[in-house]
Amino acid sequence: MKQKTFVDDINRELYDFRYEEKDYFRVRSGLDRAVVEEISSEKNDPQWMHDFRLRSLEIYNRMPVQNWGPSIDGLDMDNIVTYVRPNTGMSAKWSDVPDEIKETFEKLGIPKAERQSLAGVGAQYDSELVYHNVRKEVEEQGVIYTDLESALHGPYQEMIRDHFMKLVPPTDHKFAALHGAVWSGGSFVYVPAGVKVEIPLQSYFRLNAKGAGQFEHTLIIVDEGADLHFIEGCSAPKYNVANLHAGCVELYVRKNAKLRYSTIENWSKNMYNLNTKRALVAEGGSMEWVSGSFGSHVSCLYPMTILEGEEASMNFTGITFAGEGQDLDTGVKVVHNAPHTTSSIGTRSISKSGGVSTFRSSVQITARAKKARASVSCQSLMLDEISRSDTIPSMDIRTGDADIGHEARIGRISDEAVYYLRSRGLSEEDARAMIVTGFCESVSRELPLEYAVEMNNLIRLEMKGSIG
């Protein structure tokens, strides 16, 4: 019996509260060399990073916006503030975090989660981390978990320089270039060889400022034979102007190492979420993604895994919930570039009230990847006549002995199932919510409990008033 079924409904206010920006530092809106120079100098970048930002800006300026996927016409970079620093430094003591920011995260349950079940927490508010803490025993194992800015000036600066935007170069796409120019905040994690981090590390990203962008960079290196679970959560209050999130996640999974990366994203519905995530997995390494996408106005999110070493593996479990006014374009990319590599993709998507949910999968198996195995299974549920769900698979197989499976199903909530549950006393709304929750169960069971609870709350919330 799972506890998660019985939690109370949450109020949308849980996410929608917001605070005034008092004495905050903001760059002016728009993007040009002066803005990038200002960010770089505010952040006290080393010279190479300063140069990297300017190069990225040049790339950004000459690259076209993608000509596929959802429209991002509502996003005007001239109106986006790329850097907003709350009026505080980063603190390792919760009591030192300014009250309004503390309240924000307390409402979102962050310090409580940390006390209960996390090895370390980073909390980013607008463009900067405001709180960062790692448990002593984890630190003593040699695990590094810090903000990227500190890492740039500390003993790991060479490691950062060797890995930063090497998996996702600024030339990857226009918003990767934008990220390279204005990135701020995010985390650096290094798990030394052989170290198993028993309980997860977590980063929470909160974008409070109106009309702003959040461009955090997460860089994780799990060294040989090590093991890590990293969780990220994202939320923002709703504004009537566009906000932008163009984060970047680069994950290096070394030989026989294991990384699980879980995300629950609940950006507000004025957010353009153009996020890039990529993992490189060495021999015998294992990469597991768990992803829940609920928020944002438009999302383009296609986590990619490159299986570079023999017997490397990737598993992706994801869910997307697109409601009114949402166009969520998500997917998974995997490249098999070594023999005996395996990948497994299982996703669920739900669309309702005119929401659009598109799932793209791309499986590439190179000539080197003898006996590779890949399976893709995606199921979609449309809750009404006006919603839309698309599945766009792509497979490029260059070896003769690969084992490939693909399955896609699109369906609706069965009237008979609703009737059945109502005959057991459930209201129509509760019956539908139960069916949808069940549909998502394969994803929620992969999430840490408090996130599974949050996800089921989000589903119940989304299902409110969905009868019509």
Partner 1 sequence: MNETLLKISGLKADADGKEILHGIDLEIGPGEVHVLMGPNGAGKSTLGNALMGHPSYEITGGRILFGGKDITDESVEMRARDGLFLSFQSPVEIPGVTVADLIRTAAEALTGKRIFLADFRKRLYEKMDFLRMEREWAQREVNVGFSGGERKKAEILQLLMLEPSLAILDETDSGLDVDAVRTVSAGVEAFCSDGKKSLLIITHSARILEELKVDKTHVLVDGKIVDEGDAGLAASIIQDGFTRYEKA
Instruction: Select the residue interacting with partner 1 from 78, 415, 465, 468 (CB under 8 A).
Output: 415
Segment interacting with partner 1 (CB under 8 A) among 25-33, 46-54, 211-219, 408-416? 408-416
Nearest approach in angstroms of CB 414 to partner 1 is 6
Instruction: Select the residue interacting with partner 1 from 438, 449, 464, 467 (CB under 8 A).
Output: 438
Contacts of 18 (CB under 8 A, 6+ apart): 208, 210, 237, 239
Applying CB under 8 A, does 171 fall inside the site for partner 1? Answer: no
Applying CB under 8 A, does 463 fall inside the site for partner 1? Answer: no
Nearest approach in angstroms of CB 462 to partner 1 is 16
Applying CB under 8 A, does 118 fall inside the site for partner 1? Answer: no
Applying CB under 8 A, does 464 fall inside the site for partner 1? Answer: no
Applying CB under 8 A, does 457 fall inside the site for partner 1? Answer: no
Instruction: Select the residue interacting with partner 1 from 121, 244, 312, 435 (CB under 8 A).
Output: 435
Applying CB under 8 A, does 434 fall inside the site for partner 1? Answer: yes
Applying CB under 8 A, does 413 fall inside the site for partner 1? Answer: no
Applying CB under 8 A, does 440 fall inside the site for partner 1? Answer: yes
Instruction: Select the residue interacting with partner 1 from 88, 117, 362, 437 (CB under 8 A).
Output: 437
Q: In the window 322-381, what residues touch partner 1 (CB under 8 A)?
A: none
Q: Which is nearer to partner 1, 73 or 415 (CB)?
A: 415
Nearest approach in angstroms of CB 447 to partner 1 is 14
Number of residues that bind partner 1 (CB under 8 A): 27
Applying CB under 8 A, does 409 fall inside the site for partner 1? Answer: no
Q: Which is nearer to partner 1, 2 or 33 (CB)?
A: 2
Instruction: Select the residue interacting with partner 1 from 63, 159, 397, 426 (CB under 8 A).
Output: 426
Three-class DSSP labels, the chain: CCHHHHCCCCCCHHHHCCCCCCCCEECCCCCCHHHHHHHHHHCCCCHHHHHHHHHHHHHHHHCCCCCCCCCCCCCCHHHCECCEECCCCCECCHHHCCHHHHHHHHHCCHHHHHHHHCCEEEEEECCEEEEEEECHHHHHCCCEEEEHHHHHHCCCHHHHHHHCCCCCCCCCCHHHHHHHHHCCCEEEEEECCCCECCCCEEEEEECCCCCEEECCEEEEEECCCCEEEEEEEEECCCCCCCEEECCEEEEEECCCCEEEEEEEEECCCCEEEEEEEEEEECCCCEEEEEEEECCCCEEEECCEEEECCCCCEEEEEEEEEECCCCEEEEEEEEEECCCCCEEEEEEEEEECCCCEEEEEEEEEECCCCCCCEEEEEEEEEECCCCCEEEEEEEEEECCCCCEEEEEEEEEECCHHHHHHHHCCCCCHHHHHHHHHHHHCHHHHCCCCHHHHHHHHHHHHHHHCCCCC
Applying CB under 8 A, does 155 fall inside the site for partner 1? Answer: no
Q: Which is nearer to partner 1, 356 or 417 (CB)?
A: 417
Instruction: Select the residue interacting with partner 1 from 34, 107, 386, 420 (CB under 8 A).
Output: 420
Nearest approach in angstroms of CB 452 to partner 1 is 12
Nearest approach in angstroms of CB 293 to partner 1 is 19
Q: Which is nearer to partner 1, 1 or 67 (CB)?
A: 1
The contact set with partner 1 (CB under 8 A) reads 1-2, 5-6, 414-417, 419-428, 430, 434-435, 437-442
